[in-house]
Structure 1
Amino acid sequence: MTISAYSGTDAGRLAPAMDPAEILARQRERESAARTYARTLPIVPVRAEGATIFGADGRSYLDCLSGAGTLALGHNHPDVVQAITETLSRGAPLHTLDLATPEKDAFTDELRACLPPGLGSDVKLHFCGPSGADAVEAALKLAQTATGNHTLLAFTGGYHGMTSGALAVTGNVAVKSPLPAAMSVVRLPFPHPYRCPFGVGLGQLPTAGPDGADLSIRYIERLLDDPLGGVTAPAALIVEAVQGEGGVVPAPDDWMRAIREITRRRGILLILDEVQTGVGRTGRFWAAQHSGIAPDILVMSKAIGGGQPLAVIAYRAELDVWTPGAHTGTFRGNQLAMAAGRATLRRVRRDGLDERAANLGARLLTGLRELARTRPHVGHVRGRGLMLGAELVDPAAAADAAGAHPADPRLAALVRAECLRRGLIIELGGRHGAVIRLLPPLIITEAQASRVLATLADALDAAVRRLVTAPDRSNPTDRPRGEPTPADREDAGRGAQ
């Protein structure tokens, strides 16, 4: 059936009439095979407010993706809209390279006031290109320049972007395999509560002994100190306090403190990637604050621009060894992003939205655990603040030595489609794409949070039923509304930072 036009209350603003099916068809014809979200979320947004997106199909959707965590205040928050409108009405230049402007000065003041303690009062900022991957590239280059070393340490499950250097330290094998190695990177084991790299879990051993986090620390120390370990002097270690694209895996606080001590004792710079975890997402303004550590270099993007493209690194002043022009980027002077970002940082800080994320996230985590208790296809639930994940598994298949059942990516894809049918936008991540990820805006209401849990439970039950009946996937009549077409079914990997 052809849908003629958006039939919502704003139909009068949208001319000419739109056929969302035709728009999606044109996108498939015109855009690259690398597109991701458009394949699995085949909707055409036309308006958005708070945690709600209104589609050209006349339906509303509760957004638990939030631009991959970019929209801390949700869509079109009044503070952000006002900041952008005032900047435009003043006739401010929108593109200024790295020139000083009142907008940039005000944003810098606000950002410095929000930075985690320990970076120092004389902390330096570098404005990068518009994405988190650009900021990761800058952090890696700075560390190599400052130390004179080239080897980088990164973790299994880590995600840092899709550009050359960022991809080198990213763990996803599928997207790295077609490309030559760009940097010397040593991969280290990240502690995982369900899929432990050592096969023992975290704090789940039947007998006394080291758990996965302890073994990770012991392994890293021995490897770095082993003269036959093959690791040349590292420039830096890059880590996420909560792995996002890797499946929403929080690092234990004690483990983070141990990593900080390992790097400090050996003169290795610690780069903390807070691209997705920053600005209140995990229940503290920065995820590092849960463990009380301070990195040498902090990588920021996504929410710091208030929904507009912006990326920044902050680092200790003694690392400011670059010469002029050593790292540049045309779009590092995005004035609208700085205005929107300042408004976002200020609102999160003034309203204590990080604390609210902690409280509401704890409620959602409890609800997800209750859902897992009664549904064996939910193998593990985890997260911090409003950064939550539920890993879907095949409970009929044999578990491994640590008690983890095999991931079930097909079920996860069905759950995503069933959620979309019910007006809930979620995404997937983790190994095999089997982890349901929730990244709602920090302003999501308690009623909306309850709706998320109820919709997820209903969608999971429906997906399990569909998996059992296993309809003919080649027949388009078997495909429910909201599920991608066969042309869009192939998975092109996770979205870029």
Structure 2
Amino acid sequence: MQSTTELFEKFGPKLKGPIPGPKAKSIVEADDRLISPSYTRSYPMVAKRGRGVRVEDVDGNEFLDFAAGIAVTSTGHCHPEVVKAIQEQAAELIHMSGTDFYYESLVTFAERLSKVAPMKGPHRFYYGNSGAEAVECALKIARYHTGRQNIIAFFGAFHGRTMGALSLTASKPQQRRRFSPLVPGVTHVRYPYAYRGCSGGPQSEEAFALGCARYIEEKLFKTTLAPEEVAAIFVEPIQGEGGYVVAPTIFMQELRRICDKYGILLVADEVQSGAGRTGKWWAIEHTGVEPDIVCMAKGIASGMPLGICMTRAEIMDWKPGSHASTFGGNPVSIAAALATMDVLEREGVANAGVIGEKMMTRLKTWPSRHPVVGDVRGRGLMIGIEIVKDQATREVAGAWRDRIVELAFERGLLILGCGETSIRLAPPLIVNEQEASVALDIFEECIGQVERENSLAESLAASAV
């Protein structure tokens, strides 16, 4: 068995100098002058090239990437099969526009996706360029198909930043600030965020989740929202930006019951949780619930721009001209997606389940050993770690969370925050056990340093009194 030192030397980051280096600093300074300040950068990582789970910056420092471009590079950076598919397609045909002409690959990819769909077929597919576009499509088609105007979404949800998707989003005030009026007809209700909603064990958490779903029928539908005017319920089976919060099975089952009872469409936003990330093709499969519509993007094409809305065939009943996208289903993106499916079907989905379980086994011990770790949750390689000031009160610790993320970057590990006070782990699905072990070693070291810093600060404050 290899020692910790040997593992780190072989599978760990390779840092050559100060982080960030001189080239990175120069580019960040230019970026500050020229690029939209609306982007949310957590640290000055200036990427140059990537291979597998590793990313090299412009100064030659090599990082372990456990953010995967926000859960996008599902097959790892520049997987040779994906690169080959992109190169071959780019040399053949880059664009013709699938809205006015035909591509054989649109059909080929749709047929393959249909085979792994989380609901019974037949199915139809719409191609766009991003997760937000997939959500926009779902929003429009829900209204078109049902003839109804209202939509239900959840607090903590992130569905995108285009105006329709933003109207469903309820993650952070800044995402919506000064953009009103948004698309009308959207009502937000509580998501079953058990760690923030109840303090009991599994039984009380189940009751809490059930109550969140039943609130729709027992309160909304009896006071302010006529059920026959609700077109769809949009739900993330695992909230991404909201904190990597897993929806309990009973919650999803109750949503399905409500939708069936009132003729409402159930839309699963699998933009971040889909494409094998949870150890199954779709996170909703863990609950046994079948959606009516699925939105996907991110990891489905290994970094090429592609967003897809998949529905049961009878739902996509709109007429030509109702919706389209010039670049949606671009031949190069579809080629990348087909190659991505090959890798995921062969190894990625299963590996996400295996490595994710090994990581969770270790992470589940952290709350008992680290006072700042309040909760660990997730499925497969979609794992959230909630940082708190006090485990008893569960007080949020956003600044401590940010400090841990910063320290990880300085040590060569790329991770990102999510929610108010959580950290997400979302490495490429081809990550191996050794890389995962080294990443957790670095992560835990950063947590330990923050705990020591906090302890020292408390001691200094006490001595000053």
Residue identity matched to 2:424: R
> Could you tell me how far 1:218 is from its partner in structure 2?
2.7
Q: Structure 1 residues 354 and 312, CA, compared in 2 at 3 Å: closer, same or farther?
A: same
Cα displacement (A) at 1:88 = 2.5
Corresponding residue of 1:315? 311
Q: CA deviation at 1:455?
A: 0.6
Deviation at 1:318, TM superposition (A): 1.6
Q: Give the equivalent residue in structure 1 for 2:10.
A: none
1:126 is aligned to: 126
Deviates more, 1:41-50 or 1:170-179: 170-179
**Structure 2 partner of 1:42:** 44
- 2:407 maps to 1:418: yes
* Whole-angstrom CA distance in 1 between matches of 2:436 and 2:414: 13
Are 1:26 and 2:30 an aligned pair? yes
Report the Cα offset of residue 468 of structure 1: 4.5
Per the alignment, in what secondary structure is the counterpart of residue 48 of structure 1? Answer: strand
Q: Which residue of 2 aligns with 1:343?
A: 339
Give 5+ residue unaligned stretches, structure 1.
Answer: 1-7, 12-16, 400-404, 472-497
In 1: Cα distance, 2:411 partner to 2:301 partner: 30
Corresponding residue for residue 242 of structure 1: 238
What's the CA shift for 1:200? 4.9
Query: Could you tell me which of 270, 273, 277 is aligned with 2:266?
Result: 270
How far apart, CA to CA, are the structure 1 residues paired with 2:406 and 2:76?
22
Q: How far is 1:29 from its partner?
A: 0.9
Using the alignment, how far apart are the partners of 1:293 and 1:213 within structure 2? 15
Alpha-carbon offset, residue 171 of structure 1: 1.3
Return the letter of the residue paired with 2:193: H
1:201: how far off? 5.2
Is this contact kept in 2: 1:202–1:211, CA < 8 A? no
Q: Is the 8 A contact 2:269 2:296 kept in 1?
A: yes
Is the 1:95–1:333 contact (alpha carbons within 8 Å) kept by the matching residues of 2? no
Provide, for residues 228-278 of structure 1, a one-character-per-residue CA deviation record: whole Å limited to 9, x for no partner: 334462110000111111101111112211211111111001111011111
Q: Distance in 1 between matches of 2:207 and 2:356?
A: 26
Partner residue in 1 for 2:171: 172
Cross-structure match for 2:288: 292
- The residue that corresponds to 2:447 in the other structure is 460
Q: Which residue, out of 348, 356, 366, partners 2:351?
A: 356
Match of 1:332 in 2: 328
> Which has a greater percent of helix?
2
Aligned pairs for 1:90-489 within 5 A: 91-98=92-99, 99-118=101-120, 120-121=121-122, 123-128=123-128, 130-174=129-173, 175-180=175-180, 181-196=182-197, 199-200=198-199, 203=202, 205=204, 211-226=207-222, 228-231=223-226, 233-351=229-347, 353-395=348-390, 399=393, 405-430=394-419, 432=420, 434-469=421-456
Q: 1:75 to 1:350 in 2, by over 3 A?
A: same
Q: Which residue of 2 aligns with 1:483?
A: none
Q: Note if contact 2:119-2:292 (Cα within 8 Å) is conserved in structure 1.
A: no
3-state SS of 1:23 partner:
helix
- Superposition CA RMSD, Å: 2.2
Question: Which residue is equivalent to 1:73?
Answer: 75
Runs (4 or more) in structure 1 with deviation over 6 Å come to none
Q: CA deviation at 1:59?
A: 1.1
TM-score normalised by L of structure 2: 0.89
Indicate if the aligned counterparts of 2:192 and 2:212 stay in contact, CA closer than 8 A. Answer: yes
Distance 1:192 1:201, change over 3 A: farther
Tell me the secondary structure at the aligned position of residue 242 of structure 2: coil
Residues 419 and 459 of structure 1 are in contact (CA less than 8 Å); yes or no, is this contact kept in structure 2?
yes
The answer (yes or no) to whether the contact 1:202–1:212 under 8 Å persists in 2 is no
User: Do the aligned partners of residues 236 and 447 (structure 1) sit closer, same or farther apart at CA in structure 2, a change above 3 Å counting?
Assistant: same
- Structure 1 residues 363 and 320: CA distance shift in structure 2, 3 A: same
Q: Distance in 2 between matches of 1:86 and 1:225?
A: 54
Identity %: 35
Partner of 1:211, secondary structure, is helix
Distance 1:44 1:225 in 2: 50
For residues 108-146 of structure 1, the C-alpha deviation after alignment (integer angstroms, 9 at most, x for no partner) is 23222222242x12x111112x11011101100100111
Cα 1:95–1:406 change in 2 (3 A) is farther
Could you tell me how far 1:300 is from its partner in structure 2?
1.0
